[in-house]
Amino acid sequence: MTSRWRTLLFFLLLSRTELILAQIKYSTPEEVKVGAVIGNVAKDLGLDVSTLTTRRFRIVSGADGALFEVNPNNGVLFVHRRIDREQLCDRNAACLTDLKIVAEDPLEVHYVTVEIKDANDHAPSFADKEKVVEIVELTSPGARFQLPGARDPDAGINSVQRYKLSQNEHFNLEIRDRDEDKIPFLVLQKQLDREQKTHHSLMLTAIDGGAPPRSANLSITVRVLDINDNRPVFSKEVYSVTLRENTPINTIIIKVQTTDLDEGPNGEVEYAFGGDVTTDALKLFSIDRLKGDIRVIGLVDYEVANVYKLDVQASDKGIPPMTTDCRVIIKIEDVNDNEPEIDITSLSGKVSEDAKPGTVVALISVSDRDSGLNGKVVCSLSKNVPFELKPSFKENIYSLVTKETLDREAVSHYDVLLKATDCGEPPLSKLKTLSIQVSDVNDNTPEFLHSPLQLYLLENNAPGGSIFFVSASDKDLNENAVVSYSLLRDEGGQKDMTSFLNINNENGQITALKSFDFERIKTFQFQVVATDSGAPSLSTNVLLLEDKT
Ligand SMILES: *[C@@H]1O[C@H](CO)[C@@H](O)[C@H](O)[C@H]1NC(C)=O
């Protein structure tokens, strides 16, 4: 495929040395087969072909002499070695090779120029196989990002003519000419969202203008950089959990969790209680800043509060950060940790011994700080006391009433043991003693030890002297038992001797006011009345028989 095109220029110059100079220009594409004919130099120079051998027709020098040879038999210039235009020449300049051909007798020197024409023997190529372009998400459409161009050592039309970008929804390709180079740019058409797609893979193809065209591919990876455009999101809006009171410290109650679609610090979440969490709750619960674990750090007491509402805030570490809130409801479950309480209302702690059965002595109210069945209390009383509990109009309030009549002279004081037991598991109870005094009623009359009494009196007793003591006792208390004595007088009676007697009303000492004479009266009798100081008073009589001896 030697080109038939050729130019033939003759410059016949006569010099003083009679040197004949001529210049012929041929043209051949590069990369033709070894042996391919460039042209017939002898013929084109008008030389007699039959003389060439004797005139030693040959190439004597040239930039690359060995690329070509002339056949001395017929004067044909042919390719001797593979011709690579890109190796011989600068990429853009016309590639010309000068040959000096001589014939002797007479000496002739001819200059032959062979133009090596470019063939599309190179494909475009990119320096790297892959290019990573980093673009911040939400960048406005229209932004441009330069891509590496492809190189093609071929010249002219055989070099890179155009670029093509693989089909995609986010980018267009724009080519800008700088000098002789075409620079490809990615132009953003549609905003990127890292949370939708973190990487976009594109293919840039550089195509030269050869026939057929040759091309090269460059893989482009667009890495979408995150901006903090997503809030953390809790897995629930409201978390609910039940916690037994007295749960050991350090127990993890619940874990709150979020997802944040952003990347790196923009997606790293920290937890904290919201500002409206009470100081009481802060003393009981803590939250792990990084893990979101909520722990018990204090004594949880159902009786103090049975529910806590904590607001938790999650914040990512973006600049500025984005936050979200959730609520954690902690319901405290009651445990039977309180013993019942007994409250006694009693006016005096006393009950009169003549109180009728059913008389209210005290009001007993029992209570329990625990809730539910736990909080229910059963109250009981020690046996063998003359009292009983009667339920009242209201639950957990009892009246303590007398069960039978009392007798202070038999038992003056009771210690009543009250026991309140709750219905928890295990049950807890509380004991309380109620001290009850039985108050006295004047229900006992004074009593003389013996009745009647007989006494002997010597005659001629000294008037005004003591003759006897009477004494009565009373089982009652205090004034009900304070006895006073008096003589029962029978005024005007014939046998009434009491006018001659006197009695100390306090101590029962009887004195005779006159001296008695046995010869005139041998015996007489009188009655002493013992009266207590109760209201009303009770009294008794004793008959005294006097016998003077
Ligand atoms: C470039 O990539 C396309 C599509 O993957 C492929 O068809 C073509 O052969 C590749 N060209 C080269 C030169 O690798």
pLDDT at position 157: 87
* Cα torsion angle, 260, 263, 266, 268, sign: positive
| Within-domain flag for 96 | yes
Nearest to 96 by CA among 146, 8, 25: 25
Best probe residue, ligand 1, of 205, 214, 218, 219 (max atoms within 8 Å of C-beta): 205
- Residue 284 burial by CB count (10 A; 0-12/13-18/19+): exposed, middle or buried? buried
User: Residue 168 C-alpha to ligand 1 middle, in angstroms?
Assistant: 16
In the chain, the amino acid numbered 57 is F
Q: Are residues 536 and 459 in the same domain?
A: yes
Q: Which atom of ligand 1 lies at the shortest distance from residue 217's CA?
A: 1
- What secondary structure does DSSP assign to 235-281, as a single string? S-SEEEEEEETTPPTT-EEEE--EE--S-GGGG-EEEEE-TTS-HHH
pLDDT at position 123: 93
Name the domain count of the chain: 5
Q: Are residues 389 and 409 in the same domain?
A: yes
Give dist(CA 216, CA 35) in Å, integer.
Answer: 33
Q: Which atom of ligand 1 lies at the shortest distance from residue 205's CA?
A: 1
Q: Are residues 184 and 143 in the same domain?
A: yes
The pLDDT of residue 17 is above 70: no
| Within-domain flag for 186 | yes
Q: Which two tokens stand for residue 114?
A: 């062979």
pLDDT at position 520: 82
pLDDT at position 4: 36
| Within-domain flag for 231 | no
Q: Are residues 24 and 113 in the same domain?
A: yes
Query: Are 498 and 513 contacting, i.e. CB atoms less than 8 angstroms apart?
Result: no
Q: Are residues 17 and 102 in the same domain?
A: yes
Give dist(CA 389, CA 477) in Å, integer.
Answer: 29
| Within-domain flag for 122 | no
User: Residue 217 C-alpha to ligand 1 middle, in angstroms?
Assistant: 6
Q: Which two tokens stand for residue 451?
A: 């009745």
Taking only the tens place, the pLDDT of each residue in 349-374 is 889 999 999 999 999 999 888 887 78
pLDDT at position 61: 73
pLDDT at position 293: 97
pLDDT at position 106: 84
Q: Are residues 214 and 251 in the same domain?
A: no
| Within-domain flag for 124 | no
Most confidently modeled range among 9-13, 323-327, 478-482: 323-327
Residue nearest ligand 1's atom 7 by CA: 217
Q: What is the mean pLDDT of residues 418-433?
A: 89
pLDDT at position 409: 92
The pLDDT of residue 338 is above 90: no
Best probe residue, ligand 1, of 122, 202, 215 (max atoms within 8 Å of C-beta): 215
* Cα torsion angle, 22, 25, 30, 36, sign: negative
User: Residue 280 C-alpha to ligand 1 middle, in angstroms?
Assistant: 70
Domain termination residue (choose one: 382, 405, 439): 439
Taking only the tens place, the pLDDT of each residue in 233-256 is 999 999 999 999 999 999 999 999
Q: Would you say the CB of residue 28 lies under 6 angstroms from ligand 1? A: no
pLDDT at position 21: 57
In terms of pLDDT, which residue wins out, 490 or 336?
A: 336
pLDDT at position 22: 54
The pLDDT of residue 14 is above 60: no
Domain termination residue (choose one: 298, 333, 368): 333
Give dist(CA 427, CA 429) in Å, integer.
Answer: 7
Q: Would you say the CB of residue 215 lies under 6 angstroms from ligand 1? A: yes
Q: Which atom of ligand 1 lies at the shortest distance from residue 166's CA?
A: 4
Q: What is the mean pLDDT of residues 78-84?
A: 91
Q: For the sheet containing 76-79, what is the strand order?
A: 37-40, 76-79, 68-71
Q: Are residues 17 and 83 in the same domain?
A: yes
Range of the domain at 526: 447-548
pLDDT at position 91: 67
| Within-domain flag for 125 | no
User: Residue 204 C-alpha to ligand 1 middle, in angstroms?
Assistant: 10
Q: Around Cβ 202, how many Cβ atoms within 10 Å?
A: 20
pLDDT at position 2: 38
pLDDT at position 549: 61
HSE at residue 356, side-chain half, CA atoms within 13 A, is 1
Taking only the tens place, the pLDDT of each residue in 205-216 is 999 999 899 999
- What secondary structure does DSSP assign to 406-445, as a single string? --TTT--EEEEEEEEEE-SSS--EEEEEEEEEEEP-S---
User: Residue 221 C-alpha to ligand 1 middle, in angstroms?
Assistant: 16
Place of tokens 């990369």: 31
Q: What is the mean pLDDT of residues 37-59?
A: 90
Taking only the tens place, the pLDDT of each residue in 491-539 is 766 677 788 889 999 999 999 888 888 888 888 888 899 999 988 888 8
Q: Are residues 209 and 268 in the same domain?
A: no
Give dist(CA 24, CA 68) in Å, integer.
Answer: 15
The pLDDT of residue 379 is above 80: yes
In sequence order, what are the residues at sequence separation of 6 or more whose Cβ sits closer than 8 angstroms to the Cβ of residue 205? Answer: 163, 164, 165, 166, 215, 216, 217, 218
Q: pTM above the 0.95 mark? A: no
Give dist(CA 55, CA 108) in Å, integer.
Answer: 10
- Residue 517 burial by CB count (10 A; 0-12/13-18/19+): exposed, middle or buried? exposed
The pLDDT of residue 488 is above 90: no
Place of tokens 């979440």: 269
Going from the C-alpha of 232 to that of each of 41, 229, 312, the distances in angstroms are: 85, 10, 12
Cβ density class 324-335: b for 16+ within 10 Å, e for less: bebbbebebebb
Q: Is 179 helix (H, G, I), strand (E, B) or coil?
A: coil
pLDDT at position 18: 43
| Residue 258 belongs to domain with CATH number | 2.60.40.60
pLDDT at position 12: 40
| Within-domain flag for 233 | no
pLDDT at position 424: 84
Q: Are residues 55 and 99 in the same domain?
A: yes
Query: Are 44 and 26 contacting, i.e. CB atoms less than 8 angstroms apart?
Result: no
Query: Are 418 and 432 contacting, i.e. CB atoms less than 8 angstroms apart?
Result: yes
DSSP annotation of 375: G
**What is the average pLDDT value for the chain, to the nearest integer?**
88
User: Residue 448 C-alpha to ligand 1 middle, in angstroms?
Assistant: 141
Estimate to the nearest angstrom the gap between the alpha carbon of 3 and the chain centroid.
Answer: 85
User: Residue 50 C-alpha to ligand 1 middle, in angstroms?
Assistant: 56
pLDDT at position 494: 67
User: Residue 210 C-alpha to ligand 1 middle, in angstroms?
Assistant: 17
Domain termination residue (choose one: 397, 421, 439): 439
Going from the C-alpha of 145 to that of each of 135, 174, 517, the distances in angstroms are: 9, 10, 160
Share of the chain above pLDDT 90, in %: 56
In sequence order, what are the residues at sequence separation of 6 or more whose Cβ sits closer than 8 angstroms to the Cβ of residue 166? Answer: 202, 203, 204, 205
Q: Would you say the CB of residue 201 lies under 6 angstroms from ligand 1? A: no
In terms of pLDDT, which residue wins out, 467 or 165?
A: 165
Nearest to 450 by CA among 549, 541, 333, 318: 541
Most confidently modeled range among 151-155, 164-168, 174-178, 485-489: 164-168
How does strand 323-333 pair with strand 238-244? parallel
| Within-domain flag for 305 | yes
Taking only the tens place, the pLDDT of each residue in 182-224 is 899 999 999 999 999 999 999 999 999 998 999 999 999 999 9
Q: Are residues 105 and 20 in the same domain?
A: yes
The pLDDT of residue 3 is above 70: no
pLDDT at position 63: 53
Cα dihedral 115/121/124/125 (nearest 10): -110
Q: Are residues 293 and 350 in the same domain?
A: no
User: Residue 131 C-alpha to ligand 1 middle, in angstroms?
Assistant: 16
Q: Which two tokens stand for residue 280?
A: 């009481």
In sequence order, what are the residues at sequence separation of 6 or more whose Cβ sits closer than 8 angstroms to the Cβ of residue 355? Answer: 402, 405, 406
Share of the chain above pLDDT 70, in %: 93
Q: Would you say the CB of residue 216 lies under 6 angstroms from ligand 1? A: yes
The distance in angstroms from the start CA to the end CA of the chain is: 195
pLDDT at position 7: 38
In the chain, the amino acid numbered 10 is F
The pLDDT of residue 164 is above 90: yes
Q: Would you say the CB of residue 207 lies under 6 angstroms from ligand 1? A: no
Q: Which atom of ligand 1 lies at the shortest distance from residue 203's CA?
A: 2
User: Residue 197 C-alpha to ligand 1 middle, in angstroms?
Assistant: 24
Q: Are residues 475 and 506 in the same domain?
A: yes
